[in-house]
Amino acid sequence: MQNLPFEFSHGGYIKESTVQQKIALQPPTTEAIDVETDFDYLFPDIARDSNSLLPADNNQDVIKKLKELGDAIIDRQSPEPEDDNSTIPPVYTYWGQFIDHDITANTDRAVTDLQTDITKDDFTPLSPDFVTDNLKNLRRPTFDLDSVYGDGPTLDPKNPTEAKDFYQEDDPVKLKVGQNAKQNANGVPTLGAKIPPESDLSRDLPRNNRIAVIGDSRNDENLIVAQFHTAFLRFHNAVVDWVRQNEPNNAQDNKKLFVRAQTLVRWHYQWLVVNDFLQTVTASKTVDSIFSDGLKFYHPRNGNLFMPLEFSVAAYRFGHSMVRAAYDYNRNFTNQPGALADATFNLLFAFTGRRDIGGPPGPGPSETLPFNWIIEWDRFVDKESAAKRQRNSARKIDTHLALPLSELINEGNKDPKDQDPIQKLLRHLAKRNLLRGYFLSIPTGQSLADKLGIKKLTVEELKQDNSPELNQALEPFLEKTPAWYYVLKESEVRAKGDSLGEVGSRIVAETIIGLIKNDPSSYLNDSEHEDDRDHVWNPSNGVKLPNGSEIRVISDFLKFAGVLPA
């Protein structure tokens, strides 16, 4: 099987010739994992039932109307009104993106038909059999952090790993971390206040010619997910130190030390995904009911894990609606008096390797992330602040997407003024999501609700609180609603945008818990009593903060990593 480089596109369908040209001009950061796993439908019976799908016989009309619907759900208001804010802290938006990158890749770039057809005005939806035969996941869906570790460190120089460049030369069980710049590429000192702890300038991704040397290039797509990935590098290194100090028997040689540290990092991550992330973004009692009553819908196929398309192409894309147009990012970049500038969505995309770390629309390139752009995580993790529904909140999970999502600056390679129709489509997130769902034959929201045994949204609920323009665009889809839109609207009308609704919650939680529960190496299987949550691994068996506290929520994780002051 041919190695596929980790130069992934987050959303755009890329022609293979374009990929090869990019590889020729700029070698990929690594080829750290050579893997293909399966995509499949969670509910293959309704995916193969034409009554459960948008019509394929008048495809040109459906495509035109999906694009109109995509345009209609973009929020044109600026600044964002406070009633668009949820009670969820912003970290969960980008934690969700990190999870997505860790378990799935390639719904956007695969065989030729899957790369190019979505850009046509008359593409035909693919048959489910064609999709499952030809679309492969370039990730292991096991929450094993392959996006962080690749295939591991080189502990035997005679057998170097593909991910060898991720790890430190003098301490090969530790991951490299990048240094923050004090001046730009032209030697001009960086302005602004230092971010506590002020002496810590090891808060960037490791870079080579500005390009992040990490297992998944998508984690340098915007600055917040890049800083989140940096926290994982730091957390792993802190765990290595903790094992050396507290478990000397597990540190007798580098191989044993790395395996122990990696296992602890993975289990803390998995535990937090279930007990913090899912508990926050899904409807109340969803997670608990799955553990008490068992998995009802996600089961391995032919003994193998698979990634459900209803999850990856529809339900899990709820996080797109949580993205803000601007953030209270740190003391330098916020909307408060004395700031250098506001932390707009476009600037957060500019300070990445894909934009020369400060290239347009930023002020100019830096070799590594400037110290004034280090994130202050306390502004992103506080649930009490988020409950006030102000700027320290994610946007609601609803059918209103922030304006910058209609013009993503890191998608496509051309200036917006010179874009052809394909480039424009790649930059418009809502249109892409809707067209992709149609293209890959994702069942409608109503058919998913029926399959799950959940009361369907009524026509009145689908139209509730919509603008006249949105209702006009939605009219053709009131009986058969695209699954992604349906999940967002269900949250909006039945959960006030503060969590997913029942359909979205069940698909997301069943998939994530199903993947973890069916992974023999996960924390849920570290016991003979894996069905009893009181007897499986939990943070009391893991690393501890200096004051003895356990890692129970994401802020604890960030504190242990040293990127959030304790």
pLDDT band at 78 (very low <50, low <70, confident <90, very high): confident
Quick one: what percent of the chain has pLDDT higher than 70? 87
The second-level CATH assignment, the architecture, of 16-560 is Orthogonal Bundle (1.10)
**Whole-number average pLDDT of the chain:** 88
pLDDT band at 138 (very low <50, low <70, confident <90, very high): confident
First to last CA, the chain: 47
Instruction: For residue 451, give the amino acid letter.
Output: K
pLDDT band at 532 (very low <50, low <70, confident <90, very high): low
Instruction: For residue 499, give the amino acid letter.
Output: S
Candidates 476, 345, 459; CA nearest to 72 is: 476
User: For 37-46, what is the mean pLDDT?
Assistant: 96
Return the number of other C-beta atoms located less than 10 Å from residue 143's C-beta.
Answer: 22
- Please state which of the ranges 39-53, 183-197, 396-410 shows the lowest mean pLDDT: 396-410
Quick one: what percent of the chain has pLDDT higher than 90? 79
| pLDDT at residue 95 in the model | 98
What are 270-283's pLDDT values in tens digits? 999 999 999 999 99
The answer to whether the peptide bond before residue 365 is cis (omega within 30 degrees of 0) is: no
| pLDDT at residue 119 in the model | 75
Sign of CA dihedral 219, 220, 224, 229: positive
Structure token pair of residue 470: 């949105």
Alpha helix segments (H runs only) across 366-501: 378-381, 383-386, 421-427, 429-439, 445-452, 459-463, 468-474, 483-494
- Domain-by-domain residue ranges, the chain? 16-560
| pLDDT at residue 403 in the model | 85
Q: 454: buried, middle or exposed (CB in 10 Å: 19+, 13-18, 0-12)? A: middle
> Which 3 state secondary structure label does DSSP give 37?
strand
pLDDT value at 3 more than 50: no
Alpha-carbon gap, residue 69 to 73, rounded angstroms: 7
Alpha-carbon gap, residue 442 to 439, rounded angstroms: 8
| pLDDT at residue 426 in the model | 52
